[in-house]
């Protein structure tokens, strides 16, 4: 059981380039999330998807777009990468939108923008 799988694990981009981070979960979870983690800070929510076909903004959505392709997959796109988007990105999933059911995280994607 792989859980939450993120690709790629590392990526270096130039300013202005575009990039899509992929995330897939095999736990039949309804909800999926994208976070970013910056040094000295906890994870901050970028976007989330409560269920297939729905997406909503989190705390730091500017500069990003998402697609909930199906129940398994939730991608994050940077249309025009900026150095401020250098970060570690985590995808997570949970059985439901809220509640005590914990979120399960992928291993992260380290993204550097030059």
Partner 1 sequence: AQTVTQSQPEMSVQEAETVTLSCTYDTSENNYYLFWYKQPPSRQMILVIRQEAYKQQNATENRFSVNFQKAAKSFSLKISDSQLGDTAMYFCAFMHSNDYKLSFGAGTTVTVRA
Catalog residues that contact partner 1 under the rule CB under 8 A: 31, 33, 40-45, 48, 50, 56, 58-59, 88, 90, 92, 97-100, 102-105, 107-108
- Antiparallel, parallel or unpaired: β 31-37 and 56-57: unpaired
Q: What are phi and psi of 84, to 5 degrees?
A: -70, -10
Q: Least separation, in Å, of the C-beta of 27 and partner 1?
A: 14
Closest CA to 103 of 43, 53, 56: 43
**19 and 7 in contact (C-beta within 8 Å)?**
no
Q: Which CB sits closer to partner 1, 56 or 79?
A: 56
Q: Which CB sits closer to partner 1, 2 or 14?
A: 2
- Antiparallel, parallel or unpaired: β 104-105 and 87-94: antiparallel
Q: Which CB sits closer to partner 1, 22 or 97?
A: 97
Q: Which CB sits closer to partner 1, 19 or 48?
A: 48
Q: Least separation, in Å, of the C-beta of 35 and partner 1?
A: 8
Q: Least separation, in Å, of the C-beta of 19 and partner 1?
A: 19
CB atoms within 10 A of CB 50: 17
């Amino acid at each position: 059981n792989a859980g939450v799988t993120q690709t790629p694990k590392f990526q270096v981009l130039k300013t202005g380039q575009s990039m899509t981070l992929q995330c897939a979960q095999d736990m039949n979870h309804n909800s999926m999330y994208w976070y970013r983690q910056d040094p000295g800070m906890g994870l901050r929510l970028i976007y989330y998807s409560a269920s297939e076909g729905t997406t909503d903004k989190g705390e730091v959505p500017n500069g990003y777009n998402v697609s909930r392709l199906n129940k398994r997959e939730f991608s994050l796109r940077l249309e025009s990468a900026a150095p401020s988007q250098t970060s570690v990105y985590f995808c997570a999933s949970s059985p439901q939108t809220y509640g005590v059911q914990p979120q399960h995280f992928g291993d992260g994607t380290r993204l550097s923008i030059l």
